[in-house]
Structure 1
Amino acid sequence: MSDPAKPQGAAKVENPSALSRFLTATELDIRLIGMIGALLLIWFGFHFYGEIFLDQGRFLTPRNLWNLSVQTASIGVMATGMVLVIITRNIDLSVGSMIGVIGMAMGLLQAEILPQYLGLGHWAIPILAVITGLALGAAIGALHGWLIAYREIPSFIVTLGGLMVWRGMAFQAANGRTISPLDEKFKLLGGGPYGSIGASASWIFGAVACVGVLALLYNNRKNSRRFGFSLRPMWAEGFLATVGCAMILGAVLLVNAYPLPKGILKQMGRESGEDLTDQFISHGFAIPVLILVAVGVAMTFLMTRTRFGRYVYAIGGNPEAAALAGINTRWMTLKIFALMGLLTGIASVIASARLNSATNALGTLDELYVIAAAVIGGTSLAGGMGTIYGAILGALVMQSLLSGMVLIGFDSSIQRMVVGSVLVIAVWIDTVYRKRAK
């Protein structure tokens, strides 16, 4: 007969499963593991579908995965900002249209305005264009935040209006014209054969990133010991260090396995006076990917190591309690939307540079992909929960779906159906997860 004083299910607590002990020791989030599993399933699924039905598996190739990383960059950058917006129980539907109007402003500056005063090809043109794009994005975001926080207009309405206003303004700015080509130096920010850092610099970046992982684990362990928190077992620390460095070095090997095309090698050979057509010269990491990494690191630091990040989570958890605790929730809301606008400006630089043109249609439907990336990455629409790395991984999942469907020949209508279904499923999973966590 069981002891009535003993809680029911105590045996399960005393004898947890091996998986439970592993997750407890490594402190890994089960949702993160689930997203990685889903990503691998998507990758292998599309690759073997191509092998079986199309006689060519093109997904798991260095070329496609390199292009996939570049395509993910702009969505990933905006998704890191959308995490903050959704955590605080708001939404931003205008980011796609903001990309269009910011890109058009930068295109007009480079092609028509600045050359009149500085001369065509002046070194300052791309710098001034980028600064203008970032400032314009922050200003638009601050305007949205002011309307939401100080005029108490719901964020859905403000940004829905922004979606239409900024798209119309992008059209009016150039009367529907496409502005192209853009400055040659500006184009490097969009990736491509010249917008990458090469093999040697990629290995240096990988080595620095591995040192960063080790330093982060060491610092976390030192702080845990300092404040009396429980420490991870050394085998768990070693496992995390090994997996982290292995993933980084694997990424370096992947991007270095994608060679420059022969046409580019011939052009480089003519410029240098050497025959490079038979040489293997790697792309290395694309500049947009490095921008995404830098934004991800900066936003993670902002959310986990600063007062600003703590305030964001506090507002998302309980806005009324946060206000009573002395947090200026209105000013915080304005700053969050201004930051979202700044990140949208960065994404617009990447998108327009990659396209080498500014069009009024730039960024169409990006608001859907950004919101989906944040939600797939674990950001709760109920507020108070979300991570930067989860949003970036969600952007990679979303872009993998789109890229895979293009490779196997799905038309745009089916792509939209799949993306919409994935978004609904992600919200449903979040709802189930929150109910079980209570």
Structure 2
Amino acid sequence: MSVLSGPRPVSSVFREISAEDEEQQPAEIESLCMNCYENGVTRLLLTRVPFFREIIVSSFTCDSCGWTNTEIQSAGRIQEQGVRYSLSVRSKRDVNREVVKTDYATTCIPEIDFEIPACTQKGALTTIEGILERTIVGLQQEQPLRRAENAEVAKKIDEFIAKLQSLKDGETPFTFILDDPSGNSFVENPFAPQKDEDLTVTHYRRSKEQDSLLGIESSIGQQNSEEKKESDAEDLRDEVLQFQTNCPECNAPAATNMKLVQIPHFKEVIIMATNCEACGHRTNEVKSGGAVESLGTRITLHIIDPSDFTRDVLKSETCGITIPELEFELGMGALGGKFTTLEGLLKDIRDLVVDKNPFTLGDSCTSDRMEKLQEFGRKIDQILEGQMKVHLILDDPAGNSYLQNVYAPEQDPEMTVDKYERSFEQNEDLGLNDMKTEGYEENVTSCHC
């Protein structure tokens, strides 16, 4: 286990995937084969990919019986929100979409009442076809025994296998749902950076049961509530708070600074910035310091002048971004909360879609897809250079996003701000439909009586 031992810097433990990196060798461990109970070899590779960040790839091989097993485990942090992908599969091309599936992800096909619960399979980088094939093979393994013990059950399973085979071959349309409370799973969008009409991505807040599944203590919310009550008595507007955390890139100990800031003509926000001395990674995140607004906000800016790129932008984690001229739409939850300039926001979009897209690397990258993404990157550069005039739309159903009005307090001729009533689905995503804020004290009193 020479890869894992010794005083090696933390930043070099997880290395980028590269065929030219001669030092990137897996660690080999002699381990027991659970098939024949002879000794086999487990190989561990600690590496970093754009989407999963740090991952551990393990592969087991037994020379005695020939049994092999591979799996992927995420070594990165759990995301702040869970994610749910719903894909309408209509052809063989959709079945070939690549999927990143973690241990905590639940796979479901409603049309045939099919579900793979969380923590019943190891994480994998595969395709929808691969998931179905793995299920078919698993069901077929015990069929000879079932036919001998219970022919009726075996017949029903044969019928179910036939349905799965029809779905795998792309002969029958179906809905593929991948729900991961850890937020680390992914379903490929072959039309990126354009929106995929057949793919719906929803970010949501985890329940207490899901937090428990992920090993997150349920008492965290109570502790945060008590700390909030204590901090209400203090004026923290002129003070920078600091707390210890781990770097999201190299996992080394780092310090995060947090400050309450009043944005002119808007509201108070909490800005958090992390600077890692081990690898030099820097990141900032913005949280709203107020409540969810009664109305959603849609901000539309016509970018016509280079000076527009210096405007301050506050993008909350519930805000979606649309650029109609590029047929580009970024759902809420992507990029997280940010307080930056318009130029910085466009560069972050380009990095997310082009540079940090996991399907632009290795065998998963095709020339057509790469050309699309590079063309999108060139258009973003043209916008930043002032060669293309476009509209940027910030749509925040929580009403907590902001775009600087350089003419304030007068109206900006190139910017419109629209307030709108949220839909039921938007309130559901924000967790507002089940929230009761009226007559709460009366209900509590009546319960005690």
The two structures have a TM-score, normalised by structure 2, of 0.25
Structure with bigger strand share is 2
CA radius of gyration, larger in = 2
Instruction: Tell me the TM-score normalized by structure 1.
Output: 0.26
Q: Give 1 or 2: higher helix fraction.
A: 1
